[in-house]
């Protein structure tokens, strides 16, 4: 990897100045590519933390049309992230979103391998920062969905998935050891089969300016591996709607609900509040429980074809072990900037900053996110 990065740097430095200027001009041009050609964007990744050490790698997104002649054919996208650190942590992910000719079939895939540190705070909607327990998580995750167009704007699908977890507790005697109702503390395996139904009237799958999207999923995990491994069901609901407000503004709204039905749910399979897509500003996994409900709205401003900005706000909660109450909803709000590297397809690089609640004797929760594509 180091040799590849070095080669890339030398190659760029040796590129004639006029070629670099041509590339910069293209990246800042306000014109859309109407040829429906494929696009590819690599993004280098560097970082440092005490847990991982020096971290380096690359992220990339490749977007194309399976049928370039059909202007109704939605764009297919593959995105990947690959990082490695000096303390031997790693993260590899590959996400695919493919639309076949005539949008007759929709294929989703996720492949993920990682070994990364993360913080566990216990279960429920009222965990404390003082209970932070530092763990090392190893994960293998494979998931594939195939959906078929069965009626106008409607897709019915099947799915299969496999997940394998292993944990190394760096602070024995912490909340992972002492907490109640925490199952399968060393990790385990789970195999899913599932069904899905969606309804989609959006005018774009990347940057919609109008339309509705709704998807309900059901996954069942049979008792394949025995022991404390998960056996039960997971239900998910994802609703979105978009309204165009003039030429430059779009209002988007989203609601999600996730539920686990089981008598033996491992802590790592419980729905988690907060990530770079919804409830931005909360550390993913700070709050986790058997049920999750979250709502958000986002006002998007498109200055021109290349640049934009957003403001967002939302609320969410988890419950099951904790009691459900409207008073337990946690707020979030924030804003961000957008650079559209492929204006025709509506594909962007986004930088978002979100803030959440401030609990007694704790700092206000917040998060900075740099991601590819819109949050929803």
pLDDT tens column, 278-312: 999 999 999 999 999 999 999 999 999 999 999 99
CA distance 280 to 375: 10
Categorize the per-residue pLDDT at 20 as very low, low, confident or very high, splitting at 50, 70 and 90: low
Percentage of the chain modeled with pLDDT above 70? 92
pLDDT computed for residue 322 by the predictor: 78
**pLDDT of residue 117 exceeding 50:** yes
Q: What is the average pLDDT value for the chain, to the nearest integer?
A: 91
pLDDT computed for residue 323 by the predictor: 86
Residue 157, burial from CB neighbour count under 10 angstroms (0-12, 13-18, 19+): buried
Residue 268 near residue 296, CB atoms below 8 Å: no
**pLDDT of residue 60 exceeding 70:** yes
- The yes/no answer on whether domain 38-372 falls in CATH 2.40.50.140 is no
For the chain, the structural domain boundaries read 1-29, 38-372
Residue 281 near residue 274, CB atoms below 8 Å: yes
Residue 228 near residue 259, CB atoms below 8 Å: no
Categorize the per-residue pLDDT at 224 as very low, low, confident or very high, splitting at 50, 70 and 90: confident
Percentage of the chain modeled with pLDDT above 90? 80
pLDDT computed for residue 24 by the predictor: 63
Residue 81 near residue 90, CB atoms below 8 Å: no
Categorize the per-residue pLDDT at 5 as very low, low, confident or very high, splitting at 50, 70 and 90: very low
Torsions phi, psi for 19 (to 5 deg) = -70, -40
> What does the pLDDT average to over 149-154?
97
């Amino acid at each position: 990897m180091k040799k590849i990065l070095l080669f890339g740097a030398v190659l760029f430095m040796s590129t004639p100045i006029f070629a670099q200027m041509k590339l910069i001009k293209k990246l800042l041009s306000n014109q859309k590519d109407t040829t429906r050609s494929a696009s590819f964007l690599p993004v280098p990744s560097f970082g440092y933390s005490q847990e991982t050490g020096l971290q380096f790698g690359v992220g990339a997104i490749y977007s194309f049309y399976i049928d370039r002649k059909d202007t109704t054919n939605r764009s297919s996208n593959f995105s990947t992230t690959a990082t490695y650190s000096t303390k031997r942590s790693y993260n590899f992910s590959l996400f695919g979103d493919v639309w076949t000719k005539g949008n007759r079939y929709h294929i989703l895939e996720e492949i993920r391998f990682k070994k990364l540190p993360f913080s566990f705070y216990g279960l429920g909607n009222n965990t404390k920062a003082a209970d932070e327990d530092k763990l090392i998580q190893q994960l293998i995750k494979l998931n594939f969905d195939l959906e078929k167009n069965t009626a106008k704007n409607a897709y019915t699908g099947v799915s299969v998935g496999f997940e394998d977890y292993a944990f190394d507790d760096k602070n024995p005697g912490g909340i992972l050891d002492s907490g109640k109702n925490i199952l399968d503390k060393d990790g385990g395996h789970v195999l899913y089969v599932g069904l899905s139904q969606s309804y989609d009237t959006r005018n774009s799958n990347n940057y919609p300016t109008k339309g509705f999207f709704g998807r309900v999923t059901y996954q069942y995990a049979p008792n394949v591996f025995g022991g404390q491994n998960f056996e039960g069901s997971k239900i998910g609901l994802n609703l979105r709607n978009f309204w165009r407000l003039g030429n430059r503004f779009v209002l988007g709204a989203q609601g999600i609900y996730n539920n686990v039905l089981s008598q033996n749910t491992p802590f790592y399979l419980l729905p988690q509040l907060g990530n770079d897509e919804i409830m931005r500003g909360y550390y993913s996994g700070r709050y986790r429980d058997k049920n999750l409900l979250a709502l958000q709205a986002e006002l998007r401003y498109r200055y021109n074809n290349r640049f934009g900005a957003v403001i967002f706000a939302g609320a969410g909660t988890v419950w099951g072990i904790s009691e459900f109450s409207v008073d337990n909803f946690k707020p979030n709000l924030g804003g961000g900037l957008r650079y559209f590297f492929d204006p025709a397809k509506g594909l962007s690089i986004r930088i978002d900053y979100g803030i959440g609640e401030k609990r007694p004797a704790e700092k206000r929760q917040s998060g900075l996110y740099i991601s590819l594509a819109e949050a929803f």
